[in-house]
Amino acid sequence: MIFIAYRYFYTSISGIKLRNQELLRQADELNKQLDLLSEKERKAKREADIACNAKDKLLSLISHEIRTPMNGVMGMATLMEATDLNNEQLEYIETILSCSKSLLTNIDEILISDMLDFSKVDSESLELSLKNFDLRNCIEEVLNMFAGKAAEAGLDLVYQIDKDVPIQITSDYKRLQQILINLVENAVRFTSQGEVFITVNLITTTSAGQLQLGFTVRDTGSGVSEDKLEHIFKGVLPTDYSTVNKQINKGFGLVICKRLIEKMGGQITLASSPGHGSTFVFSILTTASQQAVPDFAGNEMIGFEGSQILIVEDNLTSNAVLNSQLEQWKLLPALATSGKQALEILSQVSVDLVITDLVMPEMDGIQLSQLIKSRYPKIPIILLNPVNDERHKQYEEIFSATISKPVKQHSLFDTILTELRHKNNSVTGNRASHQIPDNFSEMYPLRILVAEDNPVNQKWIKKILSKIGYQCEIAENGKAVLEIVSHKHFDLILMDVQMPEMDGMEATRMIRVCLETQPVIVAMTANVMQGDREECIQSGMNDYISKPVELTVLLKVLEKWALSIRGKKQHFSAGKQAR
């Protein structure tokens, strides 16, 4: 009996062992299949990443290769425009420049459209690419994409970053821009009047040092009814929307936004009602950048603190944002929402500078500026001008400077500082003229080195600098730049980016490390994709000019840095005498 039980037990144990071995074999087979699937997924992801990077590089290369020869075309046409021409010749030149600008606009719109299409891919498999960047520049680039459409619709594009938000942050630059592009695109498309307003605030700081930033994109458009809100961030959308609610037909872009935001550690909500606009609110987790990135012009109006600036802007949001910005620069803004109110303020307050919008009811910026010039001829006037609106060109003698809307902070800062310096130095004359000033180099002396590998562009920049009195040196690549600056000092280097042997950014980084006396380095490049200016600044450059180079922009940059260098020398000299 015991023997039979033992045999039964032994047989059972053997059977269990056999079943275990079979299960282990099956498990091993399943693991191999899973490993094979995982490897296929990893391979597919690697291939997708390589394809995406190749696509980005291709777009950048296309843009660069078109803009580089266009710089020569537009540069030479600008030079010819400044010579003695009859009316017929001048008309031909203006047509060349106009068509060239239209071509560049079309190229930019194609590249922007491609980027928007790419942003519609499923984001679940996306990995964040964290890097240091300028938050202000990130937002300004997005608003600049829609400046033309906003100007056609008469919309104001405005943004404001709270004081306690660090401007330099570490996050995914492209993903943040994709989110903002989708939200601003919707806002502009379905807002017929009023504004699109972006704000950024600091929600909280975690114990680990992470920052939770809050973003708001608010418009004054048609809005969305309450019963449709639940479908906004879902992949399946109803098909019976009214005309008022067409904007959520772009809902798949919003689905991508939601997934990207969640990937970045945040959430997104929408508050809206028909006829009262829409407000998207989202957050992301980020950190303050530990990398110091040079600013374009610092953040202080040294020597001009307390200057009285009159702001004339009928849009209350724009008015408030400009007021806040000027106060941060220690200026004293006075606010007017109409031409009539501005004239009343001028009759009561001594004003150093006027900043006026062009498009205003009852009395526009041109009419107001004509009255101001007739009564107060010494007050400089800065015009805030919608992009592509050229009405002000018939009245160039009225305005000291023009800033395109949406207003970029560094442009506003540079222009205000330049005009206050001009007023202080009693500089007169029409600086907005197309004619090149003969004594420009005497007013703004600079020793200039140009890094440029394209022969046509070398010829153009050398010619234009020669016409305004500068004798520049040319370096064909970054290595040549390093060789020249090792034994000769320059105040300013106009640095191309894409050059053989050593590019402009690598050369800049070497200069920042090796030279004791540092020159001002200005990127002069056909790299104009989103983030290109940011990369130039991060490499150590002080400023940025995109190709094709506009003569007025080049003159303004040269003037700005010549005055900055002069101011530093005077400050150093005064400090030395005091010691």
- Structure confidence by residue, pLDDT tens digits, 407-430: 988 889 888 988 888 877 654 334
Closest CA to 535 of 59, 544, 49: 544
Lowest mean pLDDT among 92-101, 183-192, 206-215, 546-555: 92-101
User: Which pLDDT band holds residue 63 (cuts at 50, 70, 90)?
Assistant: low
Total residues belonging to the chain? 579
Residue 20 token pair = 């275990």
Residue 308 has pLDDT above 70, yes or no: yes
Helices (H) and strands (E) in the chain, counts: 17, 17
How high is the pLDDT of residue 242?
A: 40
Residue 124 token pair = 């679940």
Which one is predicted more confidently, 550 or 506?
A: 506
Contact 381, 392 (CB under 8 A): no
How high is the pLDDT of residue 223?
A: 86
Lowest mean pLDDT among 16-25, 109-118, 187-196, 555-564: 109-118
pLDDT digits (tens, 9 = 90+) for 112-167: 555 555 544 454 556 788 888 889 988 988 888 888 888 888 899 999 999 899 98
Average pLDDT, the chain: 80
User: Which pLDDT band holds residue 243 (cuts at 50, 70, 90)?
Assistant: very low
CA torsion sign for 527, 531, 534, 539 is negative
Give the mean model confidence (pLDDT) for residues 181-197. Answer: 90
How high is the pLDDT of residue 441?
A: 87
Which one is predicted more confidently, 126 or 221?
A: 221
CA separation for the pair 320, 466 (Å, rounded): 44
* Percent share of the chain, pLDDT over 70: 75
User: Which pLDDT band holds residue 60 (cuts at 50, 70, 90)?
Assistant: low
How high is the pLDDT of residue 456?
A: 79
Residue 530 has pLDDT above 90, yes or no: no
Beta bridge partner(s), residue 205 = 211
User: Which pLDDT band holds residue 528 (cuts at 50, 70, 90)?
Assistant: low
* Percent share of the chain, pLDDT over 90: 33
The model's pTM is 0.62
How high is the pLDDT of residue 21?
A: 73
How high is the pLDDT of residue 480?
A: 93
Residue 6 has pLDDT above 70, yes or no: no
To 10 degrees, what angle do helices 365-375 and 339-346 make? 20
Residue 1 has pLDDT above 60, yes or no: no
Lowest mean pLDDT among 26-35, 354-363, 506-515, 541-550: 26-35
Which residues are within 8 A (CB) of 245 and not within 5 positions of it... i.e. 6 or more apart? Answer: 222, 224, 225, 228, 274
User: Which pLDDT band holds residue 250 (cuts at 50, 70, 90)?
Assistant: very low
How high is the pLDDT of residue 393?
A: 84
Contact 451, 507 (CB under 8 A): yes
Closest CA to 56 of 1, 141, 118, 14: 118
How high is the pLDDT of residue 245?
A: 40
Which residues are within 8 A (CB) of 222 and not within 5 positions of it... i.e. 6 or more apart? Answer: 190, 191, 192, 244, 245, 247, 274, 275, 277
To 10 degrees, what angle do helices 551-578 and 409-424 make? 60
Contact 223, 277 (CB under 8 A): yes
How high is the pLDDT of residue 438?
A: 66
Give the mean model confidence (pLDDT) for residues 305-317. Answer: 93
User: Which pLDDT band holds residue 510 (cuts at 50, 70, 90)?
Assistant: very high
Give the mean model confidence (pLDDT) for residues 300-309. Answer: 82
pLDDT digits (tens, 9 = 90+) for 366-385: 999 999 999 999 999 999 99
